[in-house]
């Protein structure tokens, strides 16, 4: 049995680590509004990137727009090539 690759390409050009982060739960209860503890949400995002996550699955309907605002604001200090925020389709 062969080992799984640690990375793969999305769309032929975006190389990401196999382990990503789903941002749906960053928003408030029921995926609406601000999270109960925005600072904790920011800590989770920073820790995920520190652990090697470079692909964050999000959508503008989470919050709405809350998860994307948290991600952009929190990770703007990280080098842009260290993470990617996308929701294709």
Active-site amino acid positions: 62
Question: Which residue, 16, 14, 86, is CA-closest to 57?
Answer: 86
Q: How many helices (H) and strands (E) does the chain have?
A: 2, 5
What's the first-to-final CA gap in the chain, in angstroms?
33
Between CA 17 and CA 62, with CA 46 as vertex, the angle to 5 degrees is 80
């Amino acid at each position: 049995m062969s080992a799984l690759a640690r990375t793969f390409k999305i769309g032929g050009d975006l190389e990401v680590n196999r382990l990503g982060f789903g941002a749906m739960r960053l928003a408030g209860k029921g995926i609406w509004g601000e999270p109960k503890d925005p600072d904790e949400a920011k800590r989770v995002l920073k820790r995920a990137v520190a652990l090697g996550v470079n692909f964050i699955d999000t959508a503008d309907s989470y919050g709405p727009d809350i998860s994307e605002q948290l991600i952009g604001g929190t990770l703007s200090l990280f080098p842009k090539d260290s993470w990617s925020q996308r929701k294709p389709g």
